[in-house]
Structure 1
Amino acid sequence: MLFLLKLLIIVLAFISPEYEAAYVPPYSSVVVPITKHTDAVNPLYSVQIATYWENVQFIHENFLIDIDAPFSWHDCIVQWNIYPGSCPKDVRCVSPVSCEEYQCTEVRTTYPYQNPSCPPDTNSSTLPGWGCTCPVNVVDPVTRTCGQALLNYEYFFSMHTSNGRNMYDGIYSAYPNAACVPSSSFGSFPANVTGVVAFSTSRYALPEYLNEPLKKALSLCLPSSTSSRGVLFYGTGPYNLLPQSSVDLRSYLSYTPLLKHPNSFGYFIGVVSIVIKKRSIIVPTNTFTKLSTIDPYTTLRSDIYNSVIRRFSAVTKRIPPAKPIAPFGLCFNTSYNGTKVGLKVPDIDFSLQNGKKWTISTANSIKKITNDVSCLAFVDGGVTSEPAIVIGTFQFEDNFLLFDLENSTFGFSSSLLLKQTSCSNFNFTLTQQPLN
C-alpha cells in the first residue's frame, strides 16, 4: 500500500501543474552496483539492471559498462506479434524497429563505428508478416570484431534510486532503443554477462533517457576486487562512501574539460605531459587522451611509452628488475633473498590542459602478476596508436570519476585508498524511500 501511495505522488508530480511546482524527488540519482570480472581475456566490469517484469518480479540482466558504445545491445530476439506464450521459454522478446522508420536511418547514419570488419548496413533482414527489420552493426568490446544486431522497441532499464548515501526501494525506469543479438554473440564475455550498456554521449545511449528529473552526470567507482562491488551513479550528488558517510566525494575531485572527438561518442581529456618525479614527458599537441571502461591498462603510443619507460626505469633503478611479462615492458622482482618486499614507486602525474593533475599512485600503476613479479601497468600501443593515450580500467579502480555531461567536465579523485575508503564502500542496504 505504501508503495502504491509513493507511486501515486510521483505520477501526480508529472501530470499536475500544482504538484509539478511543489514536488522535489527524495532522490538525487539512480544507483547500481558494479561487478569486476576476471574470467574473460581481460578484466571487465558489469552492472546488473532490471530489464523486464515477469511473474510479479523484476528480471535482471548483467551488462558490460561501455562508455564508448553508441547504443545498448543484449541477448534477445525481435518479434512483431508478441502475445502470452509466443516467446520461447527463457528468451527475451521485443518489438522490432522497421527499416523504414526514422530511428533506423538515424542510428545507422549517426554512430561512427569505423571498423574494417563491419559490412555495410542493409535491409536484407525481414520478419514474416512484418516486413524489413533494422540490422545495425555492433562491435564486440572484447574481441573488437563486428557483428550484426536488430534495433528494437519496448525495452526498459530499471534501477534503484539513491540520495547518494542510501539505496532506496523506489524504482526509476528508462526506455531507450536497444538492439538484439543472438546468444552465440557472448562467447568472449564473462560468465552470465549477456549485454552491453552504452554510457556514451550518443543520443541513443542510456544517459539520453535518464534526464528527468535527474541531472546529466555519470559517476563511476570501479572495484579492485571480484569479491566486492563498486558503484555507478547517474544524477547529481552528494555521493557518500563508508566509513566517512558524511563526506561528499565531490570534495575530493579536481576537474578538467571533456573534449569532443570527431569519430567517437566516447570521453576524451587533454593531457599535456606525464610527470615522473619532477621530470616532464611532453605529450605532442593535438593529442587526444581517451577514457575507456574496456581497455584494461593505460596504452601509450610508442614514442610516449618509450619515454615513460626510460624515466620510470631511472627512478626505480634500486628495485631489482624482473623479466618482462606480456603485455608489460617493465617488471620488478618483489622477492629479495626469499623475503617479500613491499613495492613503493614514485607517483605518475597526468598534467592536464587546464593546469590540473591526475595522480596515479602505486595502487594504480603497479600490477601484481605473480608472487614474485609486479609490473608497470602501462602498455605499448604501437607507433600509429590513435588515440595516442588511452587510460584504462586498472588506473580507474578505487578512483571516483564524474562525467558532468551538462558542463562537459570530467572530475577525478585520484586513489580513494589514500582517503581511507574505496569504491567497495557504498551502502547497498535497501531502505525505504521517504515521502515528500
Structure 2
Amino acid sequence: MAMPKLQVPLLFLFFFFFFVFLALTPSRAQTFGPPLVSPIQKDASTLQYIITAYLQSPQETKLLLDLGASYIWINCDGYNSSSYRHIPCTTLLDEFVGCFACLMNCRDSNPNCGDSVCVLKPENPFQSSISGNEQYAPALVDYFSMLTLDNTGSIGGPSSSSPFTFIFSCGYKENLEGLARGVTGSAGLGRSSISIPVQASAIFHYPRYFALCLSGSKTRPGAAFVGTKGPYKFGRGIDLSKPLAYTPLLLNPVGKYSYPDLKKPSSEYFIGVTSIKVNGKAVALNQSLLDIDSGNGSGGTKLSTVVPYTQLETSIYKAVTEAFVKAAASSPFNLTATKPVQPFSVCYPAGNVRTTRAGPTVPAIDLVMHRNDVVWKILGSNSMVRVAEKGGADVWCLGFVDAGVRPKTSIFAGDPSIVIGGYQMEDNFLQFELESMRLGFSSSVLSRGTSCASFRFAAKKG
C-alpha cells in the first residue's frame, strides 16, 4: 500500500503543531484521558520483561521493556498501517527527535524507506551481531496506544480505541535477534524527549511519572504505569504509592553515543549508592567506584530491566560475596556454601535454607543511598535464586554476578560499577518522578502481604 501523501503546507503544519504540542509544560495544562498501564510479563527462557502496546490499526504488540532506552522501535518489515508518516530531515521535529542521520533516495513505498527522512537506531541489547546494532532505520509518526487505568486505581481496561500520535523508530527483522519469541521491538522509558513517559505526558498533559512493579511470579504479570502519581491498588487493596523512600535520579553526563570532543548524556537512570551493608555491617569498598566519573561516565549505580541479575564490578563483587558468606555462616543462619551453579559463585543446599514470606532467611543486603536513613533493603526473595537441576543440584544461590573490571559501554564511555538487575527489582515498587528527578522505592512488598503479581487487569473486551 502506498504511503498517503500530504501537500507540503499541510505536512509542515502537522509537524510544527506536533512539535509545539510535545513542548507544552504538563504542569500548566489540564490532564486529559486516564493514565496508561500495561502488564509486564517475564519470559522464562530469556528472563526478559515484556509489555503490551497497540500499533498498526491497532493490533496487540509485544515489546521488550528497556528502562534505559531512549524510544520505542518496532520491526517495520511487513508493517501494516495507512496512517504513518516519516519525519523529514532539517525540520524542527528532526532536531527535537535527535536523528542520527538523513536517509536519502529510497523510493519504495514502505515505512523502512524514504527520501530525505530522519533515521534512528533500533537498539537491541541482546543482539550478538555488532553490525546489527549499527543499523539505522527511519523514524515514524503513527498511532500508538496502551491499556488505561480506571479511576479506582486498581483495574486496567482496554483503551486501544483511543490511540494517539507517537514518534518511534522502525527496525528490521534482523534486529529481533535474541529477543523473546513474539516480541517485535523495544519500549524505551529512558531520559529522552521521545521516551514513552515523556511523549505521553506531553500529549495528554499527564504528570511526568511512571512506575514499575516487576512480578516475581512465574505465571502472573507485574504492571507498568505511565502518567499517574497513584494510587496503585494491588492485592488486599494496598496502595503501593505509600510509603516510599526517595533518592535523587542522577544524570550520567557521558552516554554511549559520546565522543572525545562531544559528550552526550546517558538516557539511563542512575542512583547514588554510597555504601553497601551485609547483615547490618558496612562492606569496605573503593568509594571512588560508587561515583560517576564526569570525564568518561564510568562508575556509579545504574538501574536496568535488560540485565537479569545485579552486576558488580569485580572488587565490589568480591567484597560483598565474602561478607555475605561470612555472615551466612554465623548464627542464626549457620549456612555452609556448596558447589556453585553458573552464573553464580555462592550457593547453599536448598534443604538447609529456611524460607518465609520474604523469601530465604539469609543476611540482608542494604544499598545505602544519599543519606544513611535512605536504604534499599534486599531480602532473601531478591538476593537468592533457586536453581533446581533435574536429577542434579537443588540450591539457593546469591543472585549477583561479577561484571569484571570496569568494562566499557562504548569506545569512549565507561560502564557503571553497579547495575541493579531485574531480579532484584521484582516485587519492589519503583516510581520514577521525572519532574523532580527522583526515584521512589518500596523495597520488597512481600513483607506487606502483597506482590507485584496481585494487580488486577480487566479481561479484554471483544
RMSD: 2.8
1:200, distance to aligned residue in structure 2 (A): 0.7
Query: Who is 1:240 aligned against?
Result: 232
Matched, 1:46 2:63: no
* Residue-by-residue CA offset, 1:88-116 (whole Å, 9 max, x unaligned): 6x74574333444454455456x8xxxxx
Q: Which amino acid aligns with 1:67?
A: L
Q: Which amino acid aligns with 2:71?
A: F
Query: Who is 2:305 aligned against?
Result: 293
Contact kept in structure 2, 1:32 and 1:49, CA below 8 Å: yes
Query: Who is 2:137 aligned against?
Result: 150
Q: Which amino acid aligns with 2:433?
A: D
Query: Who is 1:254 aligned against?
Result: 245
Q: Larger deviation: 192-201 or 177-186? A: 177-186
Query: Who is 1:350 aligned against?
Result: 367
Query: Who is 1:65 aligned against?
Result: 65
Q: Which amino acid aligns with 2:271?
A: I
Q: Which of 115, 124, 131 does residue 115 from structure 2 map onto? A: 131
Could you tell me the TM-score, scaled by structure 1's length? 0.80
The CA distance in 1 between the partners of 2:226 and 2:421, in whole Å, is 21
1:24, distance to aligned residue in structure 2 (A): 6.7
Contact kept in structure 2, 1:241 and 1:425, CA below 8 Å: no
Contact kept in structure 2, 1:242 and 1:427, CA below 8 Å: yes
Cα 1:22/1:126, change in 2 over 3 Å:
closer
Q: For residue 313 of structure 1, give the secondary structure of its aligned residue in structure 2.
A: helix
Matched, 1:405 2:397: no
1:373, distance to aligned residue in structure 2 (A): 1.4
Higher strand share: 1
Contact kept in structure 2, 1:328 and 1:376, CA below 8 Å: yes
Q: For residue 315 of structure 2, give the secondary structure of its aligned residue in structure 1.
A: helix
Query: Who is 2:197 aligned against?
Result: 207
Q: Which amino acid aligns with 1:261?
A: N
* Residue-by-residue CA offset, 1:355-401 (whole Å, 9 max, x unaligned): 30000010000001116112101111111142011100000101110
The CA distance in 2 between the partners of 1:276 and 1:187, in whole Å, is 38
Q: For residue 320 of structure 1, give the secondary structure of its aligned residue in structure 2.
A: coil
Query: Who is 1:383 aligned against?
Result: 405
Q: Which of 215, 223, 232 does residue 223 from structure 1 map onto? A: 215
Contact kept in structure 2, 1:273 and 1:350, CA below 8 Å: yes
* Residue-by-residue CA offset, 1:326-376 (whole Å, 9 max, x unaligned): 22121112236xxx8644101110000133000001000000111611210
Contact kept in structure 1, 2:122 and 2:171, CA below 8 Å: no
Cα 1:26/1:65, change in 2 over 3 Å:
closer
Trace 1:356-371 onto structure 2 (pairs within 5 A): 356-370=374-388
Trace 1:77-96 onto structure 2 (pairs within 5 A): 77=77, 91=80, 94-96=84-86
Query: Who is 1:270 aligned against?
Result: 272
Q: Which amino acid aligns with 1:249?
A: L
Contact kept in structure 1, 2:275 and 2:282, CA below 8 Å: yes
Question: How many residues get paired?
Answer: 381
* Residue-by-residue CA offset, 1:233-280 (whole Å, 9 max, x unaligned): 1122323334321x3212131110110111211111000101111211
Contact kept in structure 2, 1:167 and 1:431, CA below 8 Å: no
Q: Which of 308, 325, 340 does residue 341 from structure 2 map onto? A: 325
Cα 1:350/1:283, change in 2 over 3 Å:
farther
Percent sequence identity is 30
The CA distance in 1 between the partners of 2:234 and 2:72, in whole Å, is 32
1:430, distance to aligned residue in structure 2 (A): 5.6
Cα 1:199/1:26, change in 2 over 3 Å:
closer
Cα 1:134/1:418, change in 2 over 3 Å:
same
The CA distance in 2 between the partners of 1:253 and 1:216, in whole Å, is 17
The CA distance in 2 between the partners of 1:131 and 1:237, in whole Å, is 42
Q: Which amino acid aligns with 1:302?
A: T
Cα 1:215/1:269, change in 2 over 3 Å:
same
Contact kept in structure 2, 1:271 and 1:283, CA below 8 Å: no
Q: For residue 316 of structure 1, give the secondary structure of its aligned residue in structure 2.
A: helix
Contact kept in structure 1, 2:209 and 2:228, CA below 8 Å: yes
